[in-house]
Structure 1
Amino acid sequence: MDTFFIILITTCISFTLIFLFNFFVFSNSKTKKKLPPGPFTFPFIGNLPLLINKSILDIELIIQKLISKYGPIITLKIGTTTSIFISSHSLAYHALIQQGAFCSDRPLALPTNHILSSDDRSINTASCGPSWRVLRSKLRINMLHPSLIKSRSKSRADWALNILVQKLIHKSESESEVILLDHIKHAIFSLLAYMCFGDKLDDIQIDQIKDVQHRALLATVQYKILDIFPRAGRLIFRNKWKELIALRKEVENVFIPLIQARIRYKDGEIVSYVDTLLNLELPEEKRKLTNKEIVSLCAEFLGAASDTTITALQWTMSCLVKYPAIQEKLYKEIAIARKSEEENREKLITEEDIRKLSYLKAVILESLRMHPPSHFLLPHRVTKEMELNGYALPKNAIIYFMVREMGLDPNMWEDPMEFKPERFLMDDHREGEMFDITGRREIKMMPFGVGRRVCPGYDFAMFHLEYFVANLIWCFEWKPVEGDDVDLTEEIDFTFTMKNPLRARISLRMI
């Protein structure tokens, strides 16, 4: 009891000091402007009573209601942290493009991040700096640049796609329906593991990676309680800390042998992600990466690319099953690109074919608009007090950009709840340019983020979404299971995925 009393008193004193510090700092703000509006804030705990014991979906609904009341930019105090939520396209453009230098950093690393990512050695969550820039540019240049899709990624994608198609053919011959998610997970993980470790891994290895990777991603949410008063929490939640450390060790036990195997044997014709990390030197520390740091970067590579791609692919195929007229229109476009429905029937769709498929691109974009894998961008931290829409955003405030809200905004999109790929064909592009998903000119939607923190693999992701969807429609006709309408209800896993995974009847189109 004495120990608990000491912890309680210490906690109260800490909150009081932080509150007084924030009060005096913000009251002496140079701009003298107010924070964006928001609900009543309790001393010390802020708006936590609004959010406590709520799921992410519930929190999103609460924020939507607050935005309808206060406007497209609101403030919530989460504990002592100032959190800004933005649902406006124009405000997002002003913040991320025009003032990106002030709000492109990440929140300071939390204690759980230090365990899960080797002291926050990652690209997505690390603060801006020389090491972050080197890691990000190496990933983009050596693995994810559009020019590499032809020279390196295409053969790997062919291999993974063939695995997927053969499994689906087998399922279609032996069973009346398929659950697509199981098969695309295996194919995408096979592709990414090949890119990461430079080797075609067997099914057992892929399943190992899938399992430990998924549990590690979920841990970033499940163990958040450990980030609240971590020193006291190491006593109160010591079993949870042990679980987290054991999970990290399990990740290392799966990944390090694959990294060491790559060190022993390198295929000169195949460049893997591990290869690009082995000789990389951290500019601030003048040293090479440790094996544990390479594990963290490989886990990030697999996690960031797999869950989002798998989720986006399932949503797109689900919409094509739900709306057969759109599926048929897409199939006819593919057939025309192949000159006729009978010519080259047994050959897969190529990159050259994909360049001709404008409706395919529109289908992918419409799916990303309505069903972005993440409803919020990863949080951004303000590094220097800035002004936005006449409001003050203080230093160290955390900004959350509401991706889903922007994609469904009726002021931007006509009939936003309707799945209409044609809207991207009729868009007013400059001299035939495709829709600018990077938001450089204007933000209409941003499933990959925009500005300095835009996803480095957005070109790579779009190519593989187009490549897999085109071939799945070319090879098979997809129909809903009899008596089972396609359910587009969402649930949160690591991404916003389908509550009920797609079940479909497929028939082989190929002769």
Structure 2
Amino acid sequence: DGDVLDTLLRLMTDKDSGLGLEDIKHLLMDFFTAGTDTTSSTLEWAMTELLRNPKKMANAKVELEQVLGKDNNALVQESDITKLPYLQAIIKETLRMHPPTVFLLPRKANEEVELYGYVVPKNAQIFVNLWAISRDPNTWENPDMFSPERFIGHDIDMKGQDFGLIPFGAGRRICPGLTLAYRMLNLMLGSLLHAFDWKLGDGLRPEDLDMNDKFGITIQKAQPLQVIPI
């Protein structure tokens, strides 16, 4: 029972674990950094895509009003998420088009293996290119188009079973923060859309938004999004 920190503290008391207090501090800092940068960049990309596609933003606001009512002070609750399929589709489409990182964490081949005619030598370092997978026209129709509708009526999740959409990885070492990040993205984006209308400042038009990204630990917008709630 308990959370991740409880588990780490229990392991620290086990002399055979080799885990000390300083190790736990470093792990918690990793958790914090990985959880904040990736989530904030995804939220920024989602707002950017919705501002460039006002009809899709309007669809999301209609769905939110149907579930939450017309009170703009009402916040999305965790129990509301399953009632908001279009909002969930927006999150999935954002993660498809703008995965938090270009590559998953590297892996090492413990032995030589052949995959689809390609030989991966023993001890080779392997990178999974999330960006290329998400923009593959053999998997996605019109891959460069922001279209949350592609997920409506299709049971595509991000838990590592549908390999065309694996922003959190897959397998035993899938991102441990998947469920928390997905919940928080739905809660934050839904609440922002329901509480306010949004406009661009300085006479900027949606089609003028800079969609370039800058490479780093996470894929963030080269020019930060600046919007005004009304």
CA distance in 1, matches of 2:116, 2:211: 36
Q: What's the CA shift string for 1:221-248, capped at 9, x where partnerless?
A: xxxxxxxxxxxxxxxxxxxxxxxxxxxx
1:290 aligns with 2:17: no
**Per the alignment, in what secondary structure is the counterpart of residue 172 of structure 2?**
helix
Residue identity matched to 2:227? A
CA distance in 1, matches of 2:216, 2:35: 15
Where is the helix percentage greater, Structure 1 or Structure 2? 1
Equivalences for residues 302-313 of structure 1 within 5 A = 302-313=32-43
1:494 aligns with 2:224: no
Residue identity matched to 1:337? V
Q: 2:3 aligns with which of 125, 137, 142?
A: 142
CA distance in 1, matches of 2:223, 2:159: 31
Q: What's the CA shift string for 1:258-295, capped at 9, x where partnerless?
A: xxxxxxxxxxxxxxx3x443332487x61563222122
Residue identity matched to 1:400? F
Q: Which runs of 4+ in 1 moved over 4 A?
A: none
CA distance in 2, matches of 1:473, 1:456: 27
CA distance in 1, matches of 2:13, 2:116: 39
Q: 2:173 aligns with which of 430, 436, 453?
A: 453
Name 1:423's counterpart in structure 2: 150
Q: 1:278 aligns with which of 1, 4, 9?
A: 9
Name 1:481's counterpart in structure 2: 201
Equivalences for residues 337-416 of structure 1 within 5 A = 337-338=67-68, 340-341=69-70, 344-416=71-143
Residue identity matched to 1:422? E
Contact 1:282 1:288 in 2 (8 A): no
CA distance in 1, matches of 2:140, 2:90: 15
Which structure 2 residue ranges, 5 or more long, are not aligned?
none
**RMSD (Å), alpha carbons:** 1.9
Which structure 1 residue ranges, 5 or more long, are not aligned?
1-137, 144-272, 430-434
Name 1:195's counterpart in structure 2: none
Name 2:160's counterpart in structure 1: 439
Q: 2:183 aligns with which of 463, 472, 489?
A: 463
CA distance in 2, matches of 1:452, 1:404: 21
Distance change (3 Å), C-alpha of 1:287 and 1:377: closer
1:328 aligns with 2:49: no
Contact 2:160 2:174 in 1 (8 A): no
Larger Rg over CA atoms: 1
TM-score by length of 2: 0.91
Q: Percent identity?
A: 37
CA distance in 1, matches of 2:40, 2:73: 25
Contact 2:12 2:21 in 1 (8 A): no
TM-score by length of 1: 0.42
CA distance in 1, matches of 2:123, 2:91: 36
CA distance in 1, matches of 2:72, 2:222: 35
Distance change (3 Å), C-alpha of 1:291 and 1:499: same
